[in-house]
């Protein structure tokens, strides 16, 4: 069985829509970046830590860990801590192109016997956001949508009106690069 090491409703919906059966078990890991760690290294490390944390209790299952970050000027934008932080992030993203990186890791299942190593990869998508006015930002924050999203926006929600272009995997921006996950599942012999 595939176990998603996440409580994210967006990741769960993406897996369901792709016809990939799974169970979900959230992982609680420290998300503090390490000194000198690149954004890609950070996302991949968190995905590994999440997968390994859940694998300890699900040793017979294949565990999928993922972590999505938004990167602008090499700064990692996680989930906003409050409305002021969300406004700060949205101002940084306004009128610019930024990167969305998702680290993906799999451990356990057939991988445990065939190859004890954890498999880790990442996907990067470029996202262009239109200029946002202060009113746009205030109204958006009032919806509550940005508060539990990396970079303080949801491409599949209200913020879609401000995203005229992406270069790469759309599902990656939502929170899980499904094509990459499917390829990793196929390579593991689990799907």
- 136 catalytic residue (yes or no): no
- φ and ψ at residue 124, rounded to 5 degrees: -125, 135
User: 100: Cβ–Cβ under 8 A, 6 or more apart, which residues?
Assistant: 68, 69, 70, 71, 124, 125, 126, 127, 150, 151, 168, 172, 173
Classify residue 74 as left (phi > 0), alpha (psi -120 to 50) or beta.
left
DSSP SS3 for 108: strand
Measured torsion, CA atoms of residues 93, 141, 162, 96, in degrees rounded to the nearest 10: -10
**Which one of 61, 67, 134, 169 is the catalytic residue?**
67
Instruction: Give the count of beta carbons closer than 10 Å to the beta carbon of residue 35.
Output: 4
DSSP assignment, residue 160?
G
| Token reading at 46 | 């968190």
Catalytic positions: 67
């Amino acid at each position: 069985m595939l176990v998603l090491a996440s409580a994210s409703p967006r990741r769960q919906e993406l897996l369901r829509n792709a016809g990939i059966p799974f169970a979900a078990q959230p992982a609680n890991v420290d998300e503090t970046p390490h000194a000198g760690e690149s954004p890609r290294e950070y996302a991949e490390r968190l995905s590994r830590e999440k997968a390994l944390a859940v694998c300890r209790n699900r040793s017979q299952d294949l565990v999928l860990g993922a972590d999505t970050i938004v990167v602008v000027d090499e700064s990692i934008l996680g989930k906003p801590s409050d409305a002021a932080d969300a406004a700060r992030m949205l101002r940084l993203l306004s009128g610019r192109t930024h990167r969305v990186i998702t680290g993906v890791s799999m451990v356990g299942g057939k991988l445990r016997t065939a190859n004890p190593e954890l498999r880790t990869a990442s996907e990067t998508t470029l996202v262009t956001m239109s200029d946002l006015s202060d009113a746009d930002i205030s109204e958006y924050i009032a919806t509550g949508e940005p508060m539990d999203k990396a970079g303080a926006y949801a491409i599949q929600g209200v913020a879609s009106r401000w995203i005229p272009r992406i270069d790469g995997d759309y599902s990656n921006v939502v929170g899980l690069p499904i094509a990459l996950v499917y390829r990793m599942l196929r390579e593991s012999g689990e799907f």
